[in-house]
């Protein structure tokens, strides 16, 4: 008895497994896209997308990643549709190459900025999977990842906050390898969940840390937002602590190529605040550091 071919159910009559030529594939992708783009029929395209993820052709990957912009909004639909969206998103991420991680992130950022809390929660969940799949590449994008997770941590919905916090911890555990920062990472993450009450404690922990290991992109991505907050505080004590930590970190960005690639953004955002702090500070420590 011949094996059953994989047919796309629910409204799409595409035998994905038996498409032979690129022309057939392209025509099928177009048919799938037409169904996908209509929010009323998007759910019918999800099984087909999962079947396309099993195809070996590399050139179809951009089509699959682009479909995320139509899939993620469906997290706001019924529970059954949410599960189908999550399964399809996972299939796309597992199918993606490391070089496509940044492209996937852009779609997830849009989802995490959605006015619908279910879309935020679903997109954040997929972010954790992407980090597991392409840890190094997501690590290089950590400044933007942290920025969007911080926004979710401030969401009014506890479901979004709780998911964002767990994803934040998972992403940091996967990407942060700096042995100086790892022991105090919990204090740093807590400072993002309660910036008013916990930033001082996190800065104190950083000040008490002896930095000896090279500072990489993920480490800067984790620390930068909190240090910027310290430099923006009115009290000189906050500025002094943040300035001391920034100065210590800059000494350990030793690779010129890395300095150009990553630290340019770090220095731009921090120096802007350092200059402002320097003109306002009453303590010489801030001026001496910069």
* CATH code for the domain in which residue 169 is found: 1.25.10
pLDDT, tens digit, 9 for 90 and up, residues 168-188: 999 999 999 999 999 999 999
Rounded percentage of the chain residues whose pLDDT exceeds 70: 83
Question: If you average pLDDT over every residue of the chain, what do you get?
Answer: 86
pLDDT of residue 1: 43
Whether 76 and 144 map to the same domain: the answer is no
What is the number of domains present in the chain? 3
Domain match, 209 and 289 both: yes
Least confident of 8-12, 84-88, 216-220, 225-229: 8-12
Regarding whether 191 and 137 lie in a shared domain, the answer is no
Residue 288 has pLDDT above 60, yes or no: no
Q: What is the pLDDT of residue 267?
A: 61
The arithmetic mean of pLDDT across residues 242-253, rounded, is: 81
Q: Which residues contact 162 (CB under 8 A, 6 or more apart)?
A: none
pLDDT at 264 exceeding the cut of 50: no
Q: Are residues 91 and 103 in the same domain?
A: no
Q: Are residues 128 and 226 in the same domain?
A: no
Total-model pTM: 0.85
Of 127, 146, 175, the one marking the end of a domain is 175
Q: Among 175, 206, 232, give the residue marking a domain's end.
A: 175
Choose between 137 and 224: higher pLDDT.
137
Q: Which domain holds residue 21?
A: 1-95
């Amino acid at each position: 008895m011949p094996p059953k071919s994989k047919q796309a159910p629910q409204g799409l009559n595409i035998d994905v497994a038996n498409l032979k030529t690129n022309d057939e594939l392209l025509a099928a992708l177009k048919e799938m896209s037409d169904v996908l783009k209509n929010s009323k029929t998007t759910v019918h395209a999800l099984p087909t997308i999962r079947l396309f993820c099993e195809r070996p052709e590399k050139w179809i990957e951009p089509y699959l990643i682009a479909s995320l912009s139509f899939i993620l909004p469906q997290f706001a639909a019924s529970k059954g549709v949410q599960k189908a969206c999550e399964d399809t998103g996972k299939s796309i991420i597992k199918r993606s190459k490391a070089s496509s991680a940044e492209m996937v992130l852009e779609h997830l950022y849009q989802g995490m900025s959605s006015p619908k809390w279910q879309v935020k929660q679903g997109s954040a969940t997929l972010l954790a999977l992407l980090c597991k799949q392409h840890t190094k590449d997501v690590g290089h994008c950590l400044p933007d990842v942290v920025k969007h997770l911080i926004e979710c941590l401030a969401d009014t919905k506890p479901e979004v906050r709780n998911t964002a916090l767990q994803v934040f911890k998972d992403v940091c555990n996967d990407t942060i390898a700096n042995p100086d920062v790892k022991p105090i990472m919990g204090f740093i993450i807590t400072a993002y969940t309660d910036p008013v009450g916990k930033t001082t404690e996190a800065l104190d922990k950083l000040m008490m840390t002896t930095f000896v290991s090279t500072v990489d992109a993920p480490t800067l991505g984790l620390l930068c937002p909190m240090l910027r907050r310290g430099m923006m505080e009115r009290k000189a004590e906050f500025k002094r602590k943040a300035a001391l930590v920034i100065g210590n970190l800059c000494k350990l960005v030793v690779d010129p190529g890395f300095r150009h690639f990553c630290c340019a953004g770090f220095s731009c955002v921090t120096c802007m605040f350092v200059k402002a702090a320097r003109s306002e500070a009453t303590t010489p420590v801030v001026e001496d550091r910069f």
